[in-house]
């Protein structure tokens, strides 16, 4: 007697894969038109990768089952060309269901963003080796097109497959459509999708690693004749191939700070006369260093991972005053996961090799009342440019408040030079940096 029905396992895998693929195509088309400023794009992209890998695993399982379990025979009355078309369609499905997620994994493997892949945010999935690929952006664009064409190939085969199935069920009535009826395996399909639901819940419950926030004290010293030492340019040093999250601001900015008790510290000048430093301790809860950018016409604000300022400042001796600020680029946050996963990459701050930026000034002048300007040099990665930092300083007894801002052109510092960040994503070139420092005199 001829076998005219698929096994329960085959039916479960068939309908599960089909439904997930339909969801993948729909989500892929939807994500394509979302700007990076969308609050849901990052999560959708990560879940898209997880479901794609699930399709790959289920397709391999389905193929293994097919090799070890004979499928039902086709109706004897079916023309030979239709039997051949059915077999070729099935082979095409297997090829595309395996090749499409592999192309997607290859795409994220070469991506300059270096976003790690985790199955539902929990199980790490290794990326393919780069194999000497230098133009990662170009390779990513090619693989993105391949991935899309393969997905549309699945969509085309799916249309043919559904059309043929309906013909067999509604016109021929030869039992082919009933042989794959989902009613025979509804429980199994439901259980798999319940497992997917657990995976999605695990993704959203898994807390993303948050870079540690390090607070640096700002020391304000009144020193008549300090000797300024020019900053040493930051040079790229060999680093281990590890994720940027392994670097923490505390490992980056271990600079000397004032005496912990805030006591007066004697310093000898050229005349060997003891001078007492005036130590100011920063109120970290009331101090901030932020930047404001714009993407797709929408402004966003970001905070740095931490900073430390060493300020030798005396309003009565500005010629001898200096400012040095070191900023941790590790731990940058704009409260947007997709943007925050991009900023540490090579096209932006490249935090693996350049985990700090710095501003130094030896030319400070009063421009009227409490208003000051500091001419100095801002260094980000290997780029250095002179800037003028305007700020207001108010000293009220033992309390001090300094606030100011400066406008920068990000491409002057090698931030987002690729055409995608200038044209496609429409990220504004102008970035405004604002700060407010509140300090209390301790000595």
Q: What are 379-433's pLDDT values in tens digits?
A: 999 999 999 999 999 988 878 889 999 999 998 998 888 766 666 557 888 999 9
Most confident of 52-56, 218-222, 289-293: 52-56
Task: List domains and CATH numbers for the chain.
Answer: 8-205 (1.20.950), 219-441 (2.40.128.110)
The full 3-state SS of the chain, as one line of letters, equals CCCCCCCHHHHHHHHHHHHHHHHHHHHHHHHHCCCCCCCCHHHHHHHHHHHHHHHHHHHHHHHHHHHHCCCCCCCCCCCHHHHHHHHHHHHHHHHHHHHHHHHHHHHHHHCCCCCCEEECCCEEECCCCCCCCCCHHHHHHHHHHHHHHHHHHHHHHHHHHHHHHHHHHHHHCCCCCHHHCHHHHHHHHHHHHHHHHHHHHHHHHCCCCCCCCCCCCCEEECCCCCCCCCCCCCCCCCCCCCCHHHCCHHHHCCCCCCCCCCCCCEEECCCCCEEECCCEEECHHHCEEEEEEEECCEEEEEECCEEEEEEECCCCCHHHCEEEEEEECCCCECCCHHHHHHCCCCCCCCCCCCCEEEEEEEEEEEEECCEEEEEEEEEECCEEEEEEEEEEEEEECCEEEEEEEEEEEHHHHCCCCCHHHHHHCCECCEEEEEEEEEEEECC
What are 268-300's pLDDT values in tens digits? 344 443 333 556 677 777 788 899 988 877 888
Q: Per residue in 106-145, pLDDT tens?
A: 999 998 777 888 899 889 999 998 877 888 888 988 999 9
């Amino acid at each position: 007697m001829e076998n005219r029905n698929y096994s329960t396992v085959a039916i479960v895998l068939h309908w599960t894969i089909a439904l997930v693929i339909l969801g993948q195509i729909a989500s892929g088309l939807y994500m394509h038109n979302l700007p990076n400023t969308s609050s849901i794009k990052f999560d959708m992209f990560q879940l898209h990768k997880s479901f794609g890998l699930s399709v790959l695993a289920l397709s391999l399982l389905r193929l293994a089952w097919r090799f070890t379990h004979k499928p039902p025979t086709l109706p004897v009355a079916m023309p030979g060309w239709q039997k051949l078309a059915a077999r070729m369609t099935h082979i095409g499905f297997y090829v595309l269901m395996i090749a499409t997620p592999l192309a997607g994994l290859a795409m994220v493997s070469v991506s300059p963003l270096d976003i790690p892949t985790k199955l539902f945010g929990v199980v790490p999935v290794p990326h393919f080796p780069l194999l000497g690929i230098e133009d990662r952006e170009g390779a990513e664009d090619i693989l993105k097109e391949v991935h899309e064409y393969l997905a549309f190939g699945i969509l085309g085969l799916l249309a043919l497959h559904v059309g043929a199935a309906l013909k067999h069920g509604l016109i021929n009535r030869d039992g082919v459509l009933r042989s794959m009826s989902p009613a025979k395996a509804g429980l199994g399909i439901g259980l798999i999708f319940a497992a997917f639901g657990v995976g999605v819940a695990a993704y959203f419950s898994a807390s993303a690693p948050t870079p540690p926030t390090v607070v640096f004290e700002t020391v304000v010293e009144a020193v008549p004749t300090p000797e300024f030492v020019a900053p040493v340019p930051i040079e790229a040093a060999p680093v281990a191939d590890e994720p940027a999250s392994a670097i923490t601001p505390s490992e980056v900015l271990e600079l000397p700070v004032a005496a912990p008790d805030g006591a007066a510290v004697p310093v000898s000048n050229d005349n060997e006369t003891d001078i007492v430093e005036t130590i100011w301790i920063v109120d970290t809860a009331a101090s901030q260093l932020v930047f404001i950018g714009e993407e797709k016409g929408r402004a966003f604000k970001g905070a740095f991972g931490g900073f430390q300022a060493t300020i030798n400042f005396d309003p009565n001796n500005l010629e001898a005053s200096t400012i040095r600020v070191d900023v941790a680029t590790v731990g940058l946050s704009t409260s947007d996961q997709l943007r925050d996963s991009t900023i540490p990459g090579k096209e932006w701050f490249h935090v693996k090799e350049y985990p700090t930026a710095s501003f130094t000034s030896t030319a400070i002048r009063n421009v009227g009342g409490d208003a000051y300007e500091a001419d100095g040099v801002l260094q980000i990665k290997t780029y250095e440019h002179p800037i003028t930092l305007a700020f207001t300083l108010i000293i009220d007894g033992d309390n001090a408040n300094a606030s100011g801002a400066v406008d920068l052109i990000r491409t002057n510092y090698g931030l987002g030079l690729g055409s995608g960040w200038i044209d496609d994503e429409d990220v504004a070139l102008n970035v405004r940096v604002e700060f407010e420092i509140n300090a209390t005199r301790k000595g």
